[in-house]
Amino acid sequence: MRIDYIKCHGSGNDFPLIDARALALGEPEWATLARLLAERGGPVGGDGLLALVPGDDAHAFGMRMWNSDGSEAETCLNGLRCTARLGFDLLGLDAAQVKLKTSSAQVARDPEIAPGVATIRTLVGPNSTRSADVGLVGAPEQVIDAPIPGLPNARAFTAVAMPNPHLVTFVDTVDEDELVALGTWCESRPALLPARGNVSFVEVRGPSRLYVRTFERGVGLTDSCGSAMAASVLSAALTGRTAFGVPVEVFNRGGMVRGQAEADRRVMLSGNATFEGAFAIEADLAAGVLGAPEPLAPRPAEQAAWAAAVAALR
C-alpha cells in the first residue's frame, strides 16, 4: 500500500504524520506500520507515528499516536501541535477541540515562537495527580515531591497523568546514566508500574525557566517529549518551584516551548510544529517491508527557520 506522509517535528521530537481520516487499518496493522515507519534506523525514522483521524460532534478532528515500539500512547503534545497544524491546513481552521485517545485538548495557532517557525498552542487537562490515574500500584493516593516506595531511586518525585503517566523529579544537574537506569526499570513493567511510565529529570534554571530530560515510555531517552514538558511545568507549580498562571520557558535538547500551569491543573504549551517535507512510501505490512521514500514537497525554508531558532538558544 502507498502511504503519503509529512515528516514533522515539535521541539525536535520527530514523526511521520499521516492524514488517516479515510484510511481503514486494524489495530495490529497500525502497530506494524508504526514500527516500520518510526524505526530509527529505517528509511523514515521517528519517535513514533502520528495520525490525523476523524472527529465527532464535539471535535473538529482527532489524533492518534503510536510509539516506535508499536504501543499506542494516550497523548503526545509535541505530536499534537503537528497534527493540529495539518488539521488546520486541511480544514481551514485556526482553532479547534481535538479528540485524543482518552481525553481532549484545545489547540490554536499562536504567534511565532521564532521568525518563520509555525507555532501552535495546546491546552490540556485538567490533569490528575491520583496515583491510580498515573498507574502506580500500592503507592500513596498521590505523590507530590516525595519518594515513591518500591521505586529503585530515592529521589523525591511528583507523579502526574497528562493523561499518560509521568514521574518528575527536580535535580541540580541531570545525570543521564541515572535517568536511563530508572527509565529502563520502569519500561520493564514492574509491579509498581505495570503499564510503564515516562521519567523526567528537571533542572530549575531560574524563576521561570526549566530544562527537561526524559526517558519516554516505548521510545527511550529522547531529545524532547511534549507531555513530559507539560508534566514538568505542572510539577514545578505544584511543588512551589514556579507559580501557577505565570509563563515558563521550557528547554530540552530539541529546543524550547512556552508553558504555563493553571490553578485548575490544566497546562498550556506553545511551540513549533515544523513540516520538513511531504513524502510517499510503499509499505508491505504483511512482509514488514518498506520501500524507499519518494520526496513530494520538501520545505527547506521551515527547516532553516527552526535551525536558526535553535542556534539562537545556544
pLDDT digits (tens, 9 = 90+) for 2-35: 999 999 999 989 999 999 999 989 999 999 999 9
Mean pLDDT of the chain: 95
DSSP code of 151?
Answer: -
Residue carrying the nine cell digits 502506580: 136
* Given the residues 8, 82, 186, 225, the one annotated as active site: 225
* The three grid cell numbers given for residue 278, joined into one nine-digit string: 511531504
Catalogue all structural domains in the chain, each as residue range(s) with its CATH number.
2-118+273-313 (3.10.310.10), 131-271 (3.10.310.10)
pLDDT of residue 314: 66
Catalytic, 225? Answer yes
Q: Is position 8 annotated as part of the catalytic site?
A: no
User: Which pLDDT belongs to residue 239?
Assistant: 97
Indicate which residue of 8, 76, 82, 186 is catalytic.
76
Rounded CA-CA distance 163/150 in Å is 22
Q: How far apart are CA 32 and CA 276, in angstroms?
A: 24
Q: Among 4-13, 68-77, 201-210, 227-236, whose mean pLDDT is lowest?
A: 68-77
Amino acid type, 310:
V
Q: What is the pLDDT of residues 281-309, one digit of tens each?
A: 999 999 999 999 999 999 999 999 999 99
Q: What are phi and psi of 137, to 5 degrees?
A: -105, 125
